[in-house]
Amino acid sequence: MVQQLARPQDKVEVYWFSEQPNGYISDELLDQYDSGRLGFPNTHFDPEKAHVLYNQYHEQYALADEVGFDGIMSNEHHSAYWCMKPAVNLDAAVISKVTKNVKIAILGNVIAINDPVRMAEEIAMLDCYSGGRIISGFVRGGAVESLQGGIDPTENRSRFEEAHDLIIKCWTEPGPFRYEGNHYHHRVVNPWVLPMQKPHPDIWFPGTGSPESVVWAAQHGHPYMNLGAALDVTMWLKDIYIDTAKESGFKPAPEHFGYLLKAFVADTDEKAQEIGRQYMWTEQNRMKGPREHNDPPGYQSRQALQVKQQRPVGQFGGVTNRMTYEQQQDINIVIVGSPETVTRKLADTITKLNPGYLHIYGNEGAMPHEDVMRSIELMGREVIPALHEIKLEPYE
C-alpha cells in the first residue's frame, strides 16, 4: 500500500544530527578487545561523564532550534559506545521540551525488536508533546540490534514489515480490535493516545547503501534517507527510488529523498580542519568483531545481495572507514571549514543531488562542546540561509 504524506517543498530542509558519542573512549582502549560492540565491556561506561555529556547534547539541540535549523534528527543504537541513545523516543521527548519550532525526526525506532502497539503509543505521545512536530522513522536496525534484542536475524525483515503495518493500523483504525499476525498477537488493541497529525505522522525509512531498502521505501511511498554513502552511489540509489516510485503509482519529488553527511563549521578553515579530525574517532574499531555480529547468515536476502552487485564502482557506505580524513573530504562525505567553505561545498552537494532533506552530522568523538555550539551558531546564522535560497527542481 503506497502512502504519501511528505509535504511538497521547493527548498532543502536542514536537520541537526548527533550520535551523542561517549567521546572519552579511545582506540587504545578498544584495541584490547576483539569487538567494538557486543564484546566491548560496558564496565567502560562512565555514568558521571555521561551525565555531563547528555546535558551538553541537549544544549546543542536547543541552540539548533534557536538559530534556524529546520529539524533535529535522532537515532538509536544498542551496545554502541559511539551512540549513547539506546532509546530514541526518550531522546525525542527531551527534544520536544527543549525546542519550540524544529521538526523532530526519529530515525528511528527499531520496530522489529519492540512491541508495535507500545511503539504506536509512545510515538503518539511524542506527537502530542511536541504539538505535531514528529516524523516517525522506522528502521530494521543493524544485526547487533537483532542479536541484542534476542530475535532470529532471519526474521528481522518479516517482523519489521508486520510491525510497520500494525503501527499504522493502531494510528488509523479505531479500537478496540483483535490482532493475530505471524509474529505479534494481541487479544485487544486499543491505544488510548493517538497522534495529533492525521492520518499519522510522516514515516521515513533510512539506509546506508542497500538498494533493497530504497525499493521498500518507494513501494510504500515513504521518504528515503541515505545515511552517508558517497555521492555517486547516493545518486544511483535516488534513481532506483524514482523508478520504483513510478512503478508503484506515484510521482516522487525532492521531499521523498534525504542525505546525511558530516559537516563542521568554525571561524576559520584552519580551526575547522583541526577539530574536524574527530570525525575519524575510533572509525577503525567501532564495527570490529566477528562477522556474525555485523552480517549474520540470513540477515540480508539473496535478492538484496544481487542488486548490490550492480551499484557503481567507488567509495560507499561501509568502506568509508578505510579512507583517510583527506579522502573523505575529497568526496564530500566530510565537509569542514569556515562558513564560506562549508556553504560552497554543501550547495554543490544540494545542486547535484537535489534532496529535500540534508542531515548534518554535527559532532563526533571528543569535539569540545563550546566549538560544537559555535559550529551550530555559524551553521544556523550563515550557512542555512544560503542553502535555503537554492531552488529544488522536480524529479523527472
Identify whether 395 is part of a domain: no
Length of the chain (residues)? 396
What residues pair up with 359 in beta bridges, in sequence order?
15, 260
Identify whether 7 is part of a domain: no
Domain count, the chain: 1
Domain with 373, as residue range(s), is 13-388
Give the whole-angstrom CA distance, residue 266 versus residue 274: 10
Identify whether 350 is part of a domain: yes
Identify whether 332 is part of a domain: yes
Assign 3-state DSSP to the chain and report helix, strand, coil percentages, each to 5: 45, 15, 40
Q: What is the CATH number of the domain that holds 342?
A: 3.20.20.30
Identify whether 3 is part of a domain: no
Task: Quote the strand ranges of the chain, DSSP E.
Answer: 13-17, 71-74, 103-110, 134-139, 177-180, 185-189, 203-207, 224-227, 257-265, 334-337, 357-361
Q: What is the pLDDT along the chain (396 residues), one digit of tens a residue?
A: 676 666 778 999 999 999 999 999 999 999 999 999 999 999 999 999 999 999 999 999 999 999 999 999 999 999 999 999 999 999 999 999 999 999 999 999 999 999 999 999 999 999 999 999 999 999 988 888 888 888 888 899 999 999 999 999 999 999 999 999 999 999 999 999 999 999 999 999 999 888 889 999 999 999 999 998 899 999 999 999 999 999 999 999 999 999 999 999 999 999 999 999 999 999 989 988 887 777 766 666 555 555 454 544 444 344 555 789 999 999 999 999 999 999 999 999 999 999 999 999 999 999 999 999 999 999 999 999 999 999 999 998
Residue 146 to residues 82, 113, 142, 297, 311, Cα–Cα distance (Å): 18, 7, 7, 12, 26
Please tell me whether the overall predicted TM-score, pTM, comes out greater than 0.85 for this model. Answer: yes
* Residue type, position 164, single letter: H
First to last CA, the chain: 23
Give the whole-angstrom CA distance, residue 111 versus residue 123: 12
Contacts of 129 (CB under 8 A, 6+ apart): 93, 96, 97
Identify whether 5 is part of a domain: no
Give the whole-angstrom CA distance, residue 339 versus residue 153: 44
Q: Considering only CA atoms, which of 44, 54, 58 is closest in space to residue 21?
A: 54
Strands 103-110 and 134-139: parallel
**Torsion 244-250-254-255 (CA) sign:** negative
Give the whole-angstrom CA distance, residue 127 versus residue 134: 5
Identify whether 6 is part of a domain: no
Task: Answer for the pair 275, 266: CB distance below 8 angstroms, yes or no.
Answer: yes
Task: Answer for the pair 20, 53: CB distance below 8 angstroms, yes or no.
Answer: yes
Identify whether 4 is part of a domain: no
